[in-house]
Amino acid sequence: MRKLIMWNVITLDGYFEGNQNWDLSFHNVVWGPELEKLSIEQLKSADYLVFGRVTYEGMAAYWTKAEAETTEQEVAKLMNSIPKLVFSKTLKSAEWNNTRIISENASDEIQKLKAEGGKDIYVFGSADLSETFIKDNLFDEYRIGIAPVILGNGRPLFRQGIAPNNLSLISTLQLLTGGIILKYSNNKD
């Protein structure tokens, strides 16, 4: 059975972006060779990348141009080649390579994909969509990068009102940049 894995980078005070969409400057604080290596490993273990509309639009805009314009060429090649699912009731077309739009029940679709077996499914960013998957207890694993930044305000990854859930620590990785990667499994009790 495939695992559904959340991957996000947050600030020490819990924000996954600033007050504006794509205010992610703190990502530059933790990015380095170790995080690039982890990104490549995660992408190679993925059958699907999953996004909500807002994250999809930002990721598509960046990664479709990144292969030629960045030093992260291996990451860009993987991002562009892996099948992507974007869950949106408003998006009508998807120009990014290997993208399928799904406008109906996101959790049902993920449950079907998990049951098929294969490589993992990763949700990047997409806080609203992630909240749906958290409420429906679909995440098997949470991978959270913590940037050594106190942002002071912004959009929290985990909003108030989410049901409590005890997780089990799988591993920690201290980055040379000062960040930390935490991996937790969902006990699904």
Residues 6+ apart with CB under 8 A from 104: none
Taking alpha carbons only, the member of 12, 17, 14, 5 closest to residue 41 is: 5
- The CA–CA distances, whole Å, from 71 to 32, 37, 124 equal 11, 13, 21
Residues 6+ apart with CB under 8 A from 34: 173, 175, 176, 177
Tens of pLDDT along the chain (189 residues) come to: 899 999 999 999 999 999 888 888 999 999 999 999 999 999 999 999 999 999 999 899 888 887 655 557 888 889 999 999 999 999 999 989 899 999 989 999 999 999 998 999 999 988 889 999 999 999 999 999 999 999 999 998 888 888 888 999 999 999 999 999 999 999 865
pLDDT at position 43, please? 95
For the chain, domains (ranges, CATH) are 4-177 (3.40.430.10)
Q: How far apart are CA 103 and CA 116, in angstroms?
A: 20
Q: Say what the pTM is.
A: 0.92
